[in-house]
Chain A
Amino acid sequence: MYAYDEIDRTLVNERVSEFRDQVKRRLSGELTEDEFKILRLQNGVYLQLHAYMFRVAIPYGTLATNQLRALAHVARKYDRGYGHFTTRQNIQFNWIKLAELPDALEDLAKVGIHAMQTSGNNMRNVTSDQWAGVAPGEIEDPRIWSELIRQHTTLHPEFSFLPRKFKIAITASDHDRAAIRIHDIGLRLIKNEKGETGFEVLVGGGLGRTPFIAKTIKHFVHGRDILSYIEAILRVYNQYGRRDNIYKARIKILVHELGIEKFSREVEEEWQHIRNSSLQIDDEVIEDIRSRFTYPLYEKLPHMPDELRQAAADPDFEAWRKNSVAPHKVQGYSIVTISLKPTGGPPGDATAEQMDALADLADKYSFGEIRVGHEQNLTLPHVAKRDLPALWKALDKLGLATPNVNLISDIIACPGLDYCSLANARSIPIAQELTRRFANHELANLIGRLHINISGCINACGHHHVGHIGILGVEKNGEEVYQITIGGRADENAALGTLIGPGVKFDEVADVVEDIVEAYLALRERPEELFMDTVKRLGVEPFKERVYATR
C-alpha cells in the first residue's frame, strides 16, 4: 500500500475547497454551465441521462480497506446504495446531487481518495496491473512509477487543458493486464543490458471511433528520464494536436497523421531540451516513493496446506479456485480475483453492503488491501492458501463467488443507454442475458477463456474492439442494432477485432454469440485450442457463415 503524507493530503483538501467554491458559484449563477462544465469534469462530475454521475479515482487500482469503506459510505449516504467499477480503475456513482458533491469529496478526502482528473481534457487517472507487486516474475512493482507519474500529472500547469483526454497505463509483467497498447501512452517496465530500470514507451493507442494499437516510440527510456520524456510527448501533443474536430483530437490521430517517425523526431527534439532539467528524477526521490509503499509481513507457509487439500474434494470450491485463484510471488499465498459478474447482474456493480463486507474480508485475509482491475473485477492480492476455503465460503454468502473469471460470462460492459447520455444502445441487458445463457459452469469451462466486451456506443467504454467477441450497439432508424467483431484482444498481443457482418437486432445478440461459440466448439482442433487461437487459425469466415447462414 502507498501512504499519502501530509503534503498529498493538503493538496487533496485544497482541491476539495476549490471545488466547493466552484459548486457554490454555479448554484448562485455566477458561473455559467459552459464555464462550470470543464471544472466539474476535472473533478469527475458528469451530467448524465438522469442525474449527475460522479467518478472517483482509484490510482493504479489499489485500495485500502478504509478507502473501500469510504466508497461504501458515499454509495449509501449520497447515492442509491451501490457503485459501478469501470474499465479505468475508477468507481462511478450514478445518482448523486450536485449540491452534495463537495461533502462527498470531503468524506473521501479523509481517507486520501479524490476524483481529480477522472474526466476532462487532461491527464487521467494513471492505471496499472491489478496484480502489481505480487505477480510472479514482474520486473518490479510498477506502482512506484505509477505514483511518481500520478503526482507529476496532477494539476499540471501546462497540460490541464489538452486537446482531449489523455490516458497513461503501466505494466511490469510479460503478461499485460493493464492493456497498455490501447492507451495514449503505454509504459512497459524493463531492464536494459546494464540492469538499469527503464521503459519501453508506446504511444497513440486508443479505441473509440478510430481505434489504434499503440506504436513503440522508444525502446528504452531510463527511469530517471521518464517524466521528461512524457512531458516532451505531451508538449508536442498540446501544441500540435488537433482542436478543430473533437473526433480527431486524440494523440492517436496526431501520431497517425504525422507518422510515428516524424512524431518521434518532434518528441526527441523537445526531449533534448528538457531531459537534463529539474524533471530528471534522483534515485533518492524514487527511493522515497518506494519507501512509502508498504508490503505485508508474509509468513513462511507451505506450498500446499491441509486446508486446501481437504477443500479440493468440494467441486464447487474447485470450480471457483480454478479460475479465481492465481499464483503469488510468495510461496503459500495466492492472488484472488473476485468476480463482479454474477449471473443476471450488471457487470462491475457492487452494493455498499458488499463493499463493507469485502473490506472486512480483506482485513481478515489480505492484509487490508484490495485491487480493482480493468476487467471490472476486484482482487485480493495477498491471501494465504490455507484461508482460501474460508474466504470462498464468505464470498459465496455475499454473492461474490461466481466462478466465471476469464470465462464467457466475465463480461466487460459500459453502462450504455440505461445511464449514459452518449449511448445509442443498451449494454447492461445484453450482458445480463449473456450471463444467463452461459450460467452453466460446465459449459463455460468447456469453452474456456473467452472475453466478451460490450459498448453501447462508438466511444467504446466497454472496449468492444479488443473483446475476443466484441459487441457494439449503434442506432439505426430508431432501432438498436449490434455489430459483432471477433478476434480482438487487449493483452501483450493486442489486436482489434474484425467485423463479421451486418449488425443484428437487440433480441438476436445472445443467439448470435451462442452461434459463434457453437461454431468454435465444432471447429477447434483440440480442447486446449482457445477461441482466440481458432479465430487466428481460421479467420472470421467460418464464424460469419455460421451466424448469417440462417439469418
Chain B
Amino acid sequence: MPLVKGGKITDDSFAKLAVDTPLPESGDLLVPAERFLGEADALLKRSGKVGVIWPNNRDISELVPYLGKIVAVALVFPTFRDGRAYSQARLLRERYDYRAELRATGQVLRDQFVFMLRAGFDAFEVKKQADAEAFMQTAKRYSVFYQPTGDGRITALHRRMQLRHSEGVGT
C-alpha cells in the first residue's frame, strides 16, 4: 500500500507490530493500541521510533499522556463509510495539540483526501496506486472551505469579511 507523506509517495520507515510477535530490538514500529498501552515503557525505551495504531471506537483521550513521546498516530478507516476517525483526528490536532505524524489507514481513497487533510491528517496509506499518484491533484480540488478547522485554511465567512474590509479601505 503506497504511503503519501508531504504530498509525495514515500517509503514507509515503520513496520507494523502484530499483537503477539516478539518485540524487535530496533527499527521504527507502529504498535496496536492495546499492546502499546500494555508495554508502553518497554516500547519507548527502544532505539527505534514508536507510533500507535488507534482503533476508531476507542476514546482518543486515553492516548493523551503519551502524545509527547510518540512520533506517529495511525487512525483507522475500516471502510471509507465509517467516519469516526475524522473526529479523533480533529481532537488530536485541535484539542490535544498533537503535532507529529497523523496517518490515515484502512480504506483510504482519493475522494476522502480533502476531508482528511482538513481534519488534520498528513500521512496516507492509500489503497490504490492510482489514487496515491493523483494525491496532489485531488488535494487541490477545492479552493473554498466553509468550516473552520485546525488546518488553518481561511473559511468562506472570513474571506468575505476580509473582502468587505478591503473594499472599505482607501479612497
Point out residues on A near B: beta carbons under 8 Å: 5, 7-8, 10-11, 14, 17-18, 22, 30, 35, 38-39, 121, 151-152, 154-162, 235, 238-239, 243, 273, 277-279, 282, 284-285, 288
A159–B86 alpha-carbon span in the complex (Å)? 8
A158–B95 alpha-carbon span in the complex (Å)? 14
Decide: A14 and B81 in contact? CB cutoff 8 A.
Answer: no
Decide: A158 and B146 in contact? CB cutoff 8 A.
Answer: no
Decide: B144 and A7 in contact? CB cutoff 8 A.
Answer: yes
The contact of A14 among B95, B116, B142, B149, by CB within 8 Å, is: B142
Residues of A within 8 Å of B141, CB to CB, are: 14, 17-18
Q: Is B148 an interface residue (CB 8 A)?
A: yes
Residues of A within 8 Å of B66, CB to CB, are: none
Given A7-B144, A14-B141, does the pair A22, B111 have CB atoms closer than 8 Å?
yes
Decide: A38 and B81 in contact? CB cutoff 8 A.
Answer: yes
Decide: A239 and B164 in contact? CB cutoff 8 A.
Answer: no
A155–B161 alpha-carbon span in the complex (Å)? 21
Residues of B within 8 Å of A278, CB to CB, are: 148
Q: Across the interface, name the chain A residue whose C-beta is closest to B130.
A: A30
What 18 new A-B contacts, CB under 8 Å, besides A155-B146, A162-B83?
A11-B142, A11-B146, A14-B144, A17-B141, A151-B156, A152-B147, A156-B146, A156-B147, A157-B86, A157-B116, A157-B119, A158-B86, A158-B90, A159-B83, A161-B82, A238-B84, A238-B86, A288-B161
Which positions 130-152 of chain B face chain A at CB distance < 8 Å? 130, 141-149
Decide: A155 and B148 in contact? CB cutoff 8 A.
Answer: no
Closest chain-B Cβ to A41's Cβ sits at a distance in Å of 10
Decide: B157 and A161 in contact? CB cutoff 8 A.
Answer: no
Decide: A160 and B83 in contact? CB cutoff 8 A.
Answer: yes
Q: Which 8 A-B pairs have the closest CB atoms?
A: A161-B83, A157-B118, A278-B148, A11-B144, A151-B146, A157-B115, A158-B86, A7-B156
Given A157-B119, A238-B83, A238-B84, does the pair A285, B161 have CB atoms closer than 8 Å?
yes
Decide: B146 and A161 in contact? CB cutoff 8 A.
Answer: no
The contact of A273 among B81, B95, B156, by CB within 8 Å, is: B95
A10–B83 alpha-carbon span in the complex (Å)? 26
Interface pairs (14), CB distance under 8 Å? A14-B142, A14-B144, A18-B111, A18-B141, A18-B142, A38-B81, A39-B111, A155-B145, A157-B118, A158-B83, A159-B86, A161-B80, A273-B95, A285-B161
Decide: B81 and A10 in contact? CB cutoff 8 A.
Answer: no
Q: Across the interface, name the chain A residue whose C-beta is closest to B159.
A: A7
Give the tally of cross-chain contacts (CB within 8 A): 94
Q: What count of chain B residues pass the 8 Å CB interface test?
A: 33
Residues of B within 8 Å of A157, CB to CB, are: 86, 90, 114-116, 118-119, 147, 149
Residues of A within 8 Å of B84, CB to CB, are: 238-239, 243
A47–B22 alpha-carbon span in the complex (Å)? 50
A18–B90 alpha-carbon span in the complex (Å)? 24
Q: Is B9 an interface residue (CB 8 A)?
A: no
Residues of A within 8 Å of B86, CB to CB, are: 157-161, 238
A235–B89 alpha-carbon span in the complex (Å)? 12
Residues of B within 8 Å of A7, CB to CB, are: 144, 156, 159-160
Residues of A within 8 Å of B119, CB to CB, are: 157-158
Residues of A within 8 Å of B144, CB to CB, are: 7-8, 10-11, 14
Closest chain-B Cβ to A342's Cβ sits at a distance in Å of 40
Residues of B within 8 Å of A282, CB to CB, are: 161
Closest chain-B Cβ to A207's Cβ sits at a distance in Å of 23
